[in-house]
Amino acid sequence: MRITVLGAGSWGTTVASVLTRRDHESLIWARSPDTADEINAKHTNERYLQGFPLPARLRATSDLAEAAGHAELLVVGVPTGAFRATLELVKPDLHPWIPVVSLSKGLERDSLLRMTEVIKEVLPGHPAAALTGPNLAKEIMAGMAAATVIATEDLTVATEIQRVFRRGLLRVYTNHDVIGCEVGGALKNVVAIATGIAQGLGVGDNTRAGVISRGLAELTTLAVAMGGEPSTLAGLAGMGDLVATCISPHSRNRHVGEQLGRGRGLDDILAEMGQVAEGVKTVHAAVQLADRHGLAMPITRTIHRVITGDITAERAYDGLLRTHPAGHESEPG
């Protein structure tokens, strides 16, 4: 199959590599011509995957029209802030009816839409799916075992995409609950910032475990309010992705939190990273969704106050010392 992956960041490049090793004719679109040239000539992407050789058969282009016209399956791994604009640009050259798979974990800031909803708006008639789960790019490139989920309402389409992605130690499951899968993938980044702050402050493993557990309850509450299924958030797209993102030193969102916990400014952290930490943007949309559904979501709201500069990271953890009694564990807070 001819597959195009839009976005030559760490995850997009990893997915393109996996697909190429599955003997698909994969083409990756890089915004930077220099990155495309490096992938083609040197079979590396040192900015995002330093030290990991790429398959020699993987081709790259910086020509978006060429990338779109190549695709029998389109995989979109650009940041959520550029997601809609990129789809608008590929639309004229895209073959009709081909499936479009989102790799991007976040929410559109102004519309509050999930990425598959953006796909349906911009590319009506194209089956929309999300690939999500605990998928740290460098571990997959290193050949370590991992599991992921293809989420789309049409399980026949999901099964076909599952067959395309399945390879070696990458185990691919299907799921019909797109809402639950996408909300889990988006909100875990916010909780990872909170967990990173705990790490940076040195408040202890018990505290971090508490934040992860209550964070899971929080994102489950929102997913269910939006129409998702609670069981989904206990699986790979929920708990699995949350744990990996909160504990891994490879996690960009955890890194942002850890640096905030050490007292650094957000602008400096992001400038130094040179990569997108989706939780920084997603938290704004998450708070608006919490308001829409009348949900407390205290962790999300606290991280929003940190990101907007309303409170310091250290001040954020004072909330853990609240003296009023906690309620039932099934309740928020």
Residues with catalytic function:
188
Closest to 102 (Cα-Cα) out of 21, 208, 5: 5
Q: Side by side, which strands form the sheet with 2-6?
A: 59-61, 25-29, 2-6, 73-76, 100-102, 128-132, 146-151, 170-175
From CA 237, how far away is CA 234, in angstroms rounded? 8
> Is 261 annotated among the ligand-binding residues?
no
Report helix angle 155-165 to 10-21, nearest 10.
80
Closest to 157 (Cα-Cα) out of 119, 106, 185: 119
> Is 137 annotated among the ligand-binding residues?
yes
Give SS3 for 323: coil
Query: What does the block give as tokens for 252?
Result: 């960009």
> Is 133 annotated among the ligand-binding residues?
yes
Closest to 73 (Cα-Cα) out of 39, 27, 35, 9: 27
> Is 7 annotated among the ligand-binding residues?
yes
Pairing label, strands 100-102, 128-132? parallel
> Is 315 annotated among the ligand-binding residues?
no
> Is 31 annotated among the ligand-binding residues?
yes
> Is 166 annotated among the ligand-binding residues?
no
From CA 46, how far away is CA 333, in angstroms rounded? 43
> Is 11 annotated among the ligand-binding residues?
yes
> Is 281 annotated among the ligand-binding residues?
no
> Is 265 annotated among the ligand-binding residues?
no
Q: Which residue is it, tokens 């609240």?
A: 322
> Is 91 annotated among the ligand-binding residues?
no
Question: Which residue positions form the known binding site for sn-glycerol 3-phosphate?
Answer: 105, 133, 188, 241, 251-253
Question: Which residue positions form the known binding site for substrate?
Answer: 105, 252-253
Question: Which residue positions form the known binding site?
Answer: 7-12, 31, 48, 105, 133, 137, 188, 241, 251-253, 276, 278
Question: Which residue positions form the known binding site for NADPH?
Answer: 10-11, 31, 48, 105, 137, 252, 276, 278
